[in-house]
Amino acid sequence: MTSLEFLLASGIGWVTACGIWLLLRGRTFPVVLGLTLLGYAVNVFIFAMGRLWSGVPPILAGGSAVADPLPQALVLTAIVIGFATTGFVIELALRSHHESGTDQVDGRPEAARRDGEGAA
Amino acid sequence: MNHLPVLPVLLPVLTAVLLLLIGDHGGDARGGHGHRKLRWARALSVGSALAGLLIAARLVAFADGGELLVYRLGDWPAPFGIVLVVDRLSALLLLLTACVALPVLWYAAGGWDAHGRHFHALFHFQLMGLNGAFVTGDLFNLFVFFEVLLIASYVLLLHGQGRERYRAGVHYVVLNLAASALFLVGVALIYAFTGTLNFADLALRVPRVSGAEAGVLQAAALVLLVVFGFKAALVPLALWLPATYAAASAPVAALFAIMTKVGVYAIVRVHGVVFGDSGGASALVVQPLLLPLLLPLALATCALGVTGALAAHSLPRLVAWLTVASVGTILAAIGLFGVAAWGAALYYLAHSTLVIAGLFLLAELVAAQRGDAGGRLEPASPVAQPALLGTLLLLAAASNAGLPPLPGFIGKLMILEASSSHPWAAAVWSVVLLAGFFTLVGLARAGSILFWHTRADAPGSASGASPRLVAATVALLGAGVAMSVFAAPLQRYTLDAARQLGDRAAYARAVLPETGGERAVTTRPYRVTPPRTPPPTPQEVPR
């Protein structure tokens, strides 16, 4: 059981790190991907905060152990909100691209060009 | 059951849905002004805001009796179901929101609402989020209502469109989404070690957590401080605010004046009350961590705000920096952690919100009469109504800077008095007084450029502002000034509110009556570590 917890914890940590790295990029598309990854990591994190159980129902049934149903309910809410905001931020990024003519987060094309050269 | 506490949430959401059903003018900005649907939407929207004001006033009258209004959604008992709680602080902030919303809507109905789609519906969704955040009795719903108000604010910020708004909008949305992720991390950590998210239950449970778990809980509280500090624009998380607020259209920026106060409210509610010093030999007190942290950061915020105001090159940006400075002053008083200081903070919070909302509207009135120069602080054509606008700016500047007999002076005096016995008194006095002085310098500089450095050759605007726009601005600034006239009852109310916040036992008794009030021991069947005492129910036994 310890190994499962280690696996989950390091997985959440790795996805969070990737999310933050992408979040710090200069272009809107990686930033949106970063936000999405961060959202995934947080959702799994909330789920894990109910502790890890296997083969246990999330319902009080006389005598048996119970998995905590509340984090599962919380994570559903968080997923819905995260989905909606991701949809919005993608649309916003596209619209911002149309308005400023660049997909750079600051709306400055020269910074985007430098960033692109650095990556290439 | 008294259904009053749920109305501040229900009324805006029902209004918003109705407004969506009415529809709008189809994004036709030019011809939309006198559109039939828009006229209907305006009537409904302003009517609903007026009803909201009456409900909030009623709630303040109720709360002033000292009784906590608790509303159980679905009538589920407290730590398991969702509760809404209205105490003096919540009622005060509901009333403040309604007082800002009504004139701002009236102002927006003067033409801004035709510059984009669904302005009124989004405005009411934002009101729902604001009101919900103020009345909710648990941490997760605080998150949900934060998201509601943020999603509405993302779209409202872009209202009117334009390149600058999209640029500021991308920053604002991305930063807020990252902050929301942090919020969830904090909430999940708190749930993991307390097994509850209800404020009353948490306040009882947090002191019982000990050892390594207490350390994680402290970390969770600080994660939440980062989130709320970001919303409130606390240094070093304040730099997003000026560009965002300056880019927003005037009525939206005026409404946003209350959004920073949601962050302040959350800090007071969560860090001040739930994680606050609960007396006795509690194992975990966040105060030792928070006490040395909040006050210096707040003073730095105040200093940064006035520095920015001095350096601002346009009037909206100057007002946005003053928002930062006012948040700094409020949080400095919160950081003093005392009944008198909190009472002063609440009084100053109400005043500064009204004045800053009024200043955002006034900034646009001035900018509209200066031809191409707009709100930029550079010589331009003279404004059409120098006496009216100049007097309003003078009034707002004097109140914001804290000149007697205006309420800004009373608020700051209360804060200074409350800090006099604090070890940091010298720092608080010098920062607050210097901030007031530099606010005055900044606004005097802006005013003299705007009204006196005129160029005769520049083309000006011939007509003055419409009476409706002026009336809305005067209403906001007048409400701010009226706080001076009613200073004694207001001060008594805010002091009572601060005293009520300290009374955790009464809060627990009101919210958790079935489970034993402040001695409530709600069952936690989901712990992994076996309890030391024999478990009362078989469910407590882990695998």
What is the number of alpha carbons within 13 Å of residue B510 lying toward its C-beta? Answer: 20
Enter the ipTM. Answer: 0.90
Instruction: Kindly indicate the confidence band of residue B5, based on its pLDDT and cuts at 50, 70 and 90.
Output: very high
Share of chain B above pLDDT 90, in %: 55
Cα–Cα distance between A97 and B148 in angstroms, integer?
26
Residue B370: what pLDDT?
Answer: 83
Answer yes or no: is pLDDT of A52 > 80: yes
Give the domain ranges of chain B. 4-514
CB contact under 8 A, A23 and B174: yes
User: For the whole model, what pTM was predicted?
Assistant: 0.91
Give, in words, the CATH class of A2-56+64-119: mainly alpha
Give the domain ranges of chain A. 2-56+64-119
Instruction: Give which of B378, B397, B483, B395 is closest to B437, Cα–Cα.
Output: B397
Q: Which chain A residues touch B if contact means CB-CB below 8 Å?
A: 23, 28, 31, 35, 38-39, 42-43, 45-46, 49-51, 53, 56, 60, 62-63, 65-68, 70-71, 74, 77-78, 81, 84-85, 88-89, 92-93, 95-96, 99-100, 105-107
Cα–Cα distance between B260 and B270 in angstroms, integer?
16
Share of chain A above pLDDT 90, in %: 50
Among the ranges given (B181-185, B452-456, B461-465), the one the predictor scored with the smallest mean pLDDT: B461-465
- To the nearest whole angstrom, how far is the Cα of A96 from the nearest Cα of chain B? 5
Residue B540: what pLDDT?
Answer: 42
Answer yes or no: is pLDDT of B532 > 50: no
Residue B380: what pLDDT?
Answer: 83
Share of chain B above pLDDT 70, in %: 89
Q: What is the mean pLDDT of chain B?
A: 86
CB contact under 8 A, B171 and A105: yes
Instruction: Return the biggest CA–CA distance within chain A.
Output: 66
Task: Identify which of B140, B181, B542 has the shortest CB distance to residue A65.
Answer: B542
Residue B536: what pLDDT?
Answer: 44
Residue B28: what pLDDT?
Answer: 54
Residue A120: what pLDDT?
Answer: 40
Other Cβ atoms closer than 10 A to B232: 28
Q: What is the mean pLDDT of chain A?
A: 85
Mapped onto helix, strand or coil, the DSSP state of residue B452 is: coil
3-state secondary structure B381-429: CCCCCHHHHHHHHHHHHHHHHCCCCCHHHHHHHHHHHHHCCCCCHHHHH
Cα–Cα distance between B127 and B256 in angstroms, integer?
11
3-state secondary structure B63-74: HCCCCCEEEEHH
Residues 6+ apart with CB under 8 A from A84: B151
Among the ranges given (B130-139, B219-228, B295-304, B508-517), the one the predictor scored with the smallest mean pLDDT: B508-517
- To the nearest whole angstrom, how far is the Cα of A118 from the nearest Cα of chain B? 22
Locus of tokens 């882990």: B542
pLDDT tens profile B321-356: 999 999 999 999 998 888 899 999 999 999 999 999
Residue B534: what pLDDT?
Answer: 43
Instruction: Kindly indicate the confidence band of residue B178, based on its pLDDT and cuts at 50, 70 and 90.
Output: very high
